[in-house]
Amino acid sequence: MPTRELTLRGLVLGALLTTVFTAANVYLGLKVGLTFASSIPAAVISMAILSAVKDSSILENNIVQTVASAAGTLSAIIFVLPGLVIVGWWTGFPFWQSFLICVSGGVLGVLFTIPLRKALVTTSDLPYPEGVAAAEVLKVGSGARGEAGTDSGEAREGLRAVILGTAASAGLAILGATRIAATELASVFRVGATASSGYSVAWSLALLGAGHLVGLSVGMAMLTGLVIAWGVAVPLLTSMTPPAEGVELAAHTMGIWRMQVRFIGAGAIAVAAMYTLARLAKPVLSGLVTTLSPSARSAVTDDRDRDIPAAWILALTAVCMVITAGLAWSFAREGVLSANAMTLTLVAVPFVLLVGFLIAGICGYMAGLIGASNSPISGVGILSIVACAGTLVTVAPPSESTRAALVAFALFVTSIVFACATISNDNLQDLKTGQLVGASPMRQQIALIVGVAAGAAVIPFVLNLLAKAYGFAGAANVGVVAPNPLPAPQATLISALAQGVIGGNLEWTMIGIGAVVGVALILLDSALGAMGRLRIPPLAVGLGIYLPMSATFAVVVGALCATWYDRRARAAANPERAERLGTLVASGLIVGESLWGVLNAGLIVALAKDAPIALVAEDFALAKPLGVVLFAAAIVGLYGWMVRRVGGRAAS
């Protein structure tokens, strides 16, 4: 009897999980500017539910997590879409417009990554930390259920490894939520007479697990980015721009990083991403030919290498382009832009098509490099809005009467591109999971489209609920209930960028400096490769500059721990088993904190409290030392357990 894979119950279960993950991600993204990848929590929950069904399988579990992860990832649209409320163009989120923005962009994100699958997944050596982790979790669940072809003894050991990692990361995260132990240590300090810098390290075992999975090269590249940002750029720029009277040192230093140094990172990411894609041009074009060529497709006999048929790809792309054109036309023809509605529509459609495809490749590569959760999707939004607004200014020069409308139109079009980016940021990660568990890419791609539709149906309702309850910083917020609006940091920044480009007062210097840094990093990486030294991927360095230190520090620590452990594993009696044990514990670390993130988000929304389970005051004296001690103790305990299990000795 063939294994069940793309089932109605799997699609329905994935769609139901969508509601929880999407709502949690939308709220957290608007509150703190961060979202979490939902594939691993969805995989764990689906295993728990489907284990009660006799004929369920690892492939059906994979479909559930694929649907839920696509929908959860689409929630990153909130990094752009609320900008239309912030700039005062919308007062709420019209369902059909918001739904169609998410659907058209999200489906394009699925379609655009299909030709990239072979180059970036099948034949690539990218680590895909979350994709690998999800696959390991699914395999452990499959082995524990005794599915055919699995080693139940090794599965039980793997299950213990996942549970141990899950318990450790969830436990530390829960202690952090009680405020008994700090989850972050941050400070700003003087460097000489006028300069300043700072540090912000998060005690996140999930990020440590991601660091274990991505390895030393990426970890050292991100450390290089941190040194460039906080060891060079921030001190230099703060020394050149002293704080205004009455502005605290911390606020001034973080403002310099946020409004200047991050744009250096964005410029470096742009150049590094273009270079990376240029290097991948040949395999990408080969994948495109294979995907669209009937003769090449007919040669594919293995279901595990078959994509959605080319005719369907072209037809769905055409439908999405028609929806995009209709959305752009209806948006532009109402109001002061009506005279330029056709011109703007003719610009918007190819912009979404070309930039969307380019961004799909960039986001897919970044997610493969460091994981979807750590991928700087907001940096892609920054580059997209700058490109879109710059294009619109060229074809429809703004006047006093049309400037605000052009800003809104730029945000509207960028929202479609950004929906494409969010899905491609997750899509290849899911396809990597599928490759590792023997799934059909075509069935996964269908599940991804279902996930996009499910997420798109939920997002407008959640956004309207939060807009009415909390409002957004910088918006009019008429009639809101809560006294403190949601910060919506990325949407606020991207809205300001659109206004800066169209108003002609955007500071381009930092993006240009970042581009120069990106070129220098490419030359350095090439030289290291020629000398046979450890490579420093330029894109990962750009991420280290752009992302908050709190999002990268633990990744670096995890990469170093993995290097130490891998030396021990190579000396073990069974090196493959030892390496797999490390992967499973690292996967568990991602699982535990991710699951707690979902639950905590629900508590925050339900109880309307920032810290719903806090037991002590925010300034609890022992919180910081306890956070450090517990983080270090968890690392020692986990790696000590693994070394004892594999019985390895240090490699000579």
Tens-place pLDDT, residues 299-326? 555 667 777 888 888 999 999 999 999 9
**Residue 203 belongs to some domain of the structure:** yes
**Confidence at 560, pLDDT banded by 50, 70, 90:** very high
| Residue 97 clears pLDDT 50, i.e. is over it | yes
pLDDT digits (tens, 9 = 90+) for 253-292: 988 988 889 888 878 877 887 777 677 666 656 655 655 5
The pLDDT value given to residue 24? 67
Residues pairing with 190 in the sheet: 196
**Residue 635 belongs to some domain of the structure:** no
**Residue 648 belongs to some domain of the structure:** no
Average pLDDT of the residues in 398-423: 86
**Residue 407 belongs to some domain of the structure:** yes
pLDDT digits (tens, 9 = 90+) for 501-522: 887 777 678 888 998 999 999 9
**Cα separation, 16 vs 631, whole angstroms:** 35
**Residue 132 belongs to some domain of the structure:** yes
The pLDDT value given to residue 650? 38
**Confidence at 483, pLDDT banded by 50, 70, 90:** low
Q: What secondary structure letter does DSSP report for 198? A: E
Q: Which residue has the higher pLDDT, 591 or 625?
A: 625
**Confidence at 480, pLDDT banded by 50, 70, 90:** low
Q: Cβ(28)–Cβ(38) under 8 Å?
A: no
**Long-range CB contacts for residues 400-404, cutoff 8 Å, separation at least 24:** 401/336, 402/336, 402/337, 402/340, 403/502, 403/503, 404/87, 404/88, 404/89
Which of 611, 550, 31 lies closest to 254 in space, CA to CA? 550
Q: In angstroms, what CA-CA distances link 267 with 384, 436, 546?
A: 12, 34, 9
Q: Which residue has the higher pLDDT, 124 or 548?
A: 548
The pLDDT value given to residue 652? 31
The pLDDT value given to residue 375? 61
The pLDDT value given to residue 123? 74
**Residue 636 belongs to some domain of the structure:** no
| Residue 609 clears pLDDT 80, i.e. is over it | no
Four-residue CA torsion sign, 457, 458, 461, 466: negative
Tell me how many domains the chain contains.
Answer: 1
**Cα separation, 170 vs 283, whole angstroms:** 40
**Confidence at 601, pLDDT banded by 50, 70, 90:** low
Residues pairing with 197 in the sheet: 189
Q: Cβ(552)–Cβ(544) under 8 Å?
A: yes
111 burial (CB, 10 Å; 0-12 / 13-18 / 19+) is buried
The pLDDT value given to residue 1? 43
**Cα separation, 208 vs 626, whole angstroms:** 18
Q: Which residue has the higher pLDDT, 110 or 594?
A: 110
**Cα separation, 100 vs 326, whole angstroms:** 10
Q: Which residue has the higher pLDDT, 67 or 351?
A: 351
**Backbone angles phi and psi of 78, in degrees to 5:** -70, -5
Q: Where are the beta strands (DSSP E) in 80-211?
A: 184-191, 195-202
The pLDDT value given to residue 523? 92
Which of 131, 19, 128 lies closest to 71 in space, CA to CA? 19
Q: Taking CA 310 as the corner, what is the angle to CA 360 and CA 1, rounded to the nearest 5 degrees?
A: 100
pLDDT digits (tens, 9 = 90+) for 434-473: 888 888 888 888 888 888 888 888 888 888 877 776 777 6
pLDDT digits (tens, 9 = 90+) for 39-72: 766 777 777 777 777 777 788 888 888 887 776 6
Domain that holds residue 267: 8-612
**Chain centre distance of CA 626:** 30
**Residue 633 belongs to some domain of the structure:** no
Q: Could you identify the residue written with the tokens 């921030």?
A: 234
The pLDDT value given to residue 370? 66
**Cα separation, 76 vs 429, whole angstroms:** 16
Q: Cβ(133)–Cβ(591) under 8 Å?
A: yes
**Residue 351 belongs to some domain of the structure:** yes
- Pick from 69-78, 405-414, 469-478: least confident: 469-478
**Cα separation, 110 vs 132, whole angstroms:** 20
The pLDDT value given to residue 35? 63
| Residue 32 clears pLDDT 70, i.e. is over it | no
**Cα separation, 268 vs 518, whole angstroms:** 4
Q: Which amino acid is at 601?
A: A
Residues pairing with 581 in the sheet: none
Residues in the chain: 652
Q: Cβ(20)–Cβ(602) under 8 Å?
A: yes
174 burial (CB, 10 Å; 0-12 / 13-18 / 19+) is middle
